[in-house]
A and B are shown apart, each in its own frame.
Chain A
Amino acid sequence: MSSQHFPVYSLLLLLAAAVIIPLLNKKSFSKVKLFLITVLVAVWGFTLKTLLFVYQSGAYSYNFGNWNEIIGVQFIVDEFSALMTLFVMSLAILILIYSFKDMEHEINKDQFTGYYTLVFILLFSMIGITYTNDLFNMYVFMEILSITSCSIISIKKKKENYMAAFRYLILNTIGSLSILMGIAMIYMVTGHLNMTQVYQTIAEVWQLYPTNILTAVGFILTGLGIKAAMFPLHIWLPDAHSTAPSPSSALLSSLVVKVYIFSVYKILFKVLGQSIVVALGVPTFITYFAAVGMIMGSVFAIGQKDIKRMLAYSSVAQIGYIFLGLGLVTIDGLSASMFHIISHGLMKSALFLSAGAIIYYKDKRNINDLDGIGYEMPITMFVFTVAAFGMIGIPGINGFMSKIYLSFAVLDANKPIYLILILASSFLNAVYYLPIIISAFLKESKDRKNIMEIDKLPKSMLIPMVILALGSIIMGFYPQLIMNVVEKAVPTFLF
């Protein structure tokens, strides 16, 4: 087995598993679980091996069916895509192990196989978007991703879920169509769909057709902005992320949104190139929207009563940080942005999973009902506290490190106004996360004595949450572990 086929094997394995899952015997769910875990671990192994292979022998591009890149579809396997697929798969394994128990609470038993089929196709398309080097291929993967991500919301048979999924689907489709329009305009002037080819051609043609390329970038960024929940286009996100089953919310918030940001990286720096993007003035506008999002997302989150809805609004603010780092177009900014993608993925999935555990065990969603819950579910609330401290930016947790990196990047780029906004946003984060922690540990519960006891949750739900929290802490104390890898991934975009 030659290592350079591993990205394709991981895709094929996920797709084949998605086909096989509905055929398995529905009554013995333990066998289905074993099968799912085996496939996920195998795919994880493939992605890890790909990352190691890329470090040993450098980045390479994979042509499907050996067609050359002008005609065929090409995958690019470099430090960035290998790292990010590993990140996607690692988080997905933890979330799916958690979901085995939690989904019993959320959906009917006969829907399980359908749910995991959808999740596997979701993972398939996420990995595809990360690897692909072809614009139209990216669009197709995005459409698969948008259908599956809507359907893991609507699988829970409730009115709110149907409405949230419908709204998400309509906005997602408008986004995809804008992206397709932009791709058509780029194809119109360059005659290529392969990103590397477009990059080579566009340097020659963009002086001739500046309006056309500006319109194309506008369409593509609007589309990706809708999908990645950039601030004024985030309206679908709170409903979708809060009504979905908790594992789905964790997947959507920590992975799906991030995958669209990978596409933004690719479009801006691999298709258009740094010089054209800066000349068009696109990054400046991205930083404006990001800055507004950082503040407004937190402001909206303060007013929420529902814990998952609050977490969803918090995502809007955190995505602002990621776009801010991206909009600086410096090496420091981009690495801070990638670091925050990883750290936000860990923290937000820990938050959503612990919120899901509270809903699973106590069936309480309202923030005001959480008094004294820290005594009943100490481990869950420990995980929640660690992740929430990370979001606020308490030193020792990865959120602090990403804020430090982002602040230094902002200062290096000579834009100190954004530093004030980062600090203000951290303060606002504290305003809505701290009351939950305080009421969970310090207030007395109304209906029971506050006697300390260990969570009565199933182990398969506790362990992934604890791993996520420990991961956040380790990443906070030793950020260089991740940062060294991220710094190798940045030069694939900026050089």
Chain B
Amino acid sequence: MVEFIRSIVEHINYVASVALFIIGLYTVLTHSNLLKKVIGINIMETSIFLFFVSIGYVHDGSAPIINLGGDRVIYVNPLPSALILTGIVVAVSITAYSLSLIIKLYEAYGTIDLNEIMEIRGGRTNE
């Protein structure tokens, strides 16, 4: 039992990222509010960013700048953090585009609730 708790505490980043991923996916799939879907997507993105950055973490490592860490020679892996910067940019553009679509949908239907939109379309999906 103690072993189990210790392994969870040691890998708390991974556990948290998986939990966030599931929360995000659940939000996307179950909520009918379009804005909440976008929020769910953002939570999923955050979870993966956390996961990616945690991979690069080295215990007791310093920032990967030469001669800044004094006599310490262990550095944190900088590559995942650099990749995640790109990932954040991508996430922002997806969010911006989906929000603009939501605005257009609100103008068209007067609501941002998926169930209400489906009612307004009234089964006329074949169009």
Chain B residues positioned under 8 Å from A162 (CB to CB): 101, 104-105, 108
Cα A230 to Cα B45 with chains together (Å): 23
Is there an interface contact between B48 and A177, defined as CB atoms closer than 8 Å? yes
Chain A residues positioned under 8 Å from B125 (CB to CB): 239
Is there an interface contact between A180 and B126, defined as CB atoms closer than 8 Å? no
CB-contacts of A282-325 with B (<8 A): 304-306, 309
Is there an interface contact between A188 and B55, defined as CB atoms closer than 8 Å? yes
Is there an interface contact between A160 and B127, defined as CB atoms closer than 8 Å? yes
Cα A150 to Cα B93 with chains together (Å): 13
Residues A173 and B93 in contact in the complex (CB < 8 Å), given A165-B101, A181-B51: no
A184 interfacial contact with B, CB 8 Å: yes
Chain B residues positioned under 8 Å from A243 (CB to CB): 127
Is there an interface contact between A147 and B97, defined as CB atoms closer than 8 Å? yes
Q: What is the size, in residues, of chain B's interface with A at 8 Å between Cβ atoms?
A: 33
Chain A binder among B1-9, B60-68, B79-87: B79-87
B73 to A: closest C-beta gap in Å:
18
Chain A residues positioned under 8 Å from B48 (CB to CB): 177, 180-181, 184
Chain B residues positioned under 8 Å from A193 (CB to CB): 79, 83
For the complex, would chain B's binding face be called helix, strand, loop or mixed by DSSP majority? Answer: helix
Chain B residues positioned under 8 Å from A140 (CB to CB): 86, 90
B112 to A: closest C-beta gap in Å:
10
Chain A residues positioned under 8 Å from B80 (CB to CB): 184, 187
Chain A residues positioned under 8 Å from B37 (CB to CB): 170
CB-contacts of A173-193 with B (<8 A): 173-174, 177, 180-181, 184, 187-188, 193
A151 interfacial contact with B, CB 8 Å: yes
Closest residue of chain A to B104, judged by CB? A162
CB-contacts of B11-45 with A (<8 A): 21, 25, 28, 34, 37, 41, 44-45
Q: Which of A163, A177, A239, A306 contacts B44 (CB 8 A)?
A: A177
Chain A residues positioned under 8 Å from B87 (CB to CB): 180
Residues A174 and B98 in contact in the complex (CB < 8 Å), given A181-B21, A187-B55: no
Chain A residues positioned under 8 Å from B108 (CB to CB): 159, 162
Is there an interface contact between B97 and A169, defined as CB atoms closer than 8 Å? yes
CB-contacts of B90-127 with A (<8 A): 90, 93-94, 97-98, 101-102, 104-105, 108-109, 117, 121, 125-127
Cα A243 to Cα B93 with chains together (Å): 23
Chain B residues positioned under 8 Å from A306 (CB to CB): 126-127
B75 interfacial contact with A, CB 8 Å: no
Closest residue of chain A to B82, judged by CB? A136
Cα A159 to Cα B125 with chains together (Å): 11
A361 interfacial contact with B, CB 8 Å: no
Chain A residues positioned under 8 Å from B41 (CB to CB): 170, 173-174, 177
B14 to A: closest C-beta gap in Å:
9
Q: What is the size, in residues, of chain A's interface with B at 8 Å between Cβ atoms?
A: 32
Is there an interface contact between B101 and A169, defined as CB atoms closer than 8 Å? yes
A166 interfacial contact with B, CB 8 Å: yes
For the complex, would chain A's binding face be called helix, strand, loop or mixed by DSSP majority? Answer: helix
Is there an interface contact between A163 and B117, defined as CB atoms closer than 8 Å? yes
Cα A147 to Cα B100 with chains together (Å): 12
Is there an interface contact between A143 and B90, defined as CB atoms closer than 8 Å? yes
Cα A310 to Cα B21 with chains together (Å): 35
Closest residue of chain A to B21, judged by CB? A181
Closest residue of chain B to A172, judged by CB? B94
Q: Which of B83, B86, B102 contacts A166 (CB 8 A)?
A: B102
Is there an interface contact between A177 and B126, defined as CB atoms closer than 8 Å? no
Closest residue of chain A to B98, judged by CB? A169
Is there an interface contact between B109 and A166, defined as CB atoms closer than 8 Å? no
Is there an interface contact between B98 and A159, defined as CB atoms closer than 8 Å? no
Is there an interface contact between A154 and B51, defined as CB atoms closer than 8 Å? no
Cα A162 to Cα B80 with chains together (Å): 35
Chain A residues positioned under 8 Å from B86 (CB to CB): 136, 140
Is there an interface contact between A309 and B52, defined as CB atoms closer than 8 Å? no
Is there an interface contact between B25 and A174, defined as CB atoms closer than 8 Å? yes
Is there an interface contact between B101 and A147, defined as CB atoms closer than 8 Å? no
Residues A154 and B93 in contact in the complex (CB < 8 Å), given A140-B86, A177-B44, A181-B21: no
Cα A184 to Cα B98 with chains together (Å): 25
Most chain B beta carbons < 10 A, residue from A154, A157, A180, A239? A180
CB-contacts of A126-150 with B (<8 A): 136, 140, 143, 146-147, 150
Cα A85 to Cα B123 with chains together (Å): 40
Contact with B along A257-281 (1 / 0, CB 8 A): 0000000000000000000000000
Could you list which residues of chain A lie within 8 angstroms of chain B, going by C-beta atoms? 136, 140, 143, 146-147, 150-151, 154, 157, 159-160, 162-163, 165-166, 169-170, 173-174, 177, 180-181, 184, 187-188, 193, 239, 243, 304-306, 309
Q: List 30 A-B contacts (CB under 8 A).
A: A136-B86, A140-B86, A143-B90, A143-B93, A146-B94, A147-B93, A147-B97, A154-B101, A157-B104, A159-B105, A159-B121, A162-B101, A162-B104, A162-B105, A163-B117, A165-B101, A166-B102, A169-B97, A169-B101, A170-B28, A173-B41, A174-B41, A174-B44, A181-B48, A184-B52, A184-B55, A184-B80, A239-B125, A304-B126, A306-B126
Could you list which residues of chain B lie within 8 angstroms of chain A, going by C-beta atoms? 21, 25, 28, 34, 37, 41, 44-45, 48, 51-52, 55, 79-80, 83, 86-87, 90, 93-94, 97-98, 101-102, 104-105, 108-109, 117, 121, 125-127
Seed contacts A143-B94, A151-B97; 17 additional CB < 8 Å A-B pairs: A140-B86, A146-B94, A147-B94, A150-B97, A157-B104, A159-B105, A159-B109, A160-B127, A163-B117, A173-B41, A174-B44, A177-B44, A180-B87, A184-B55, A187-B55, A239-B125, A309-B126
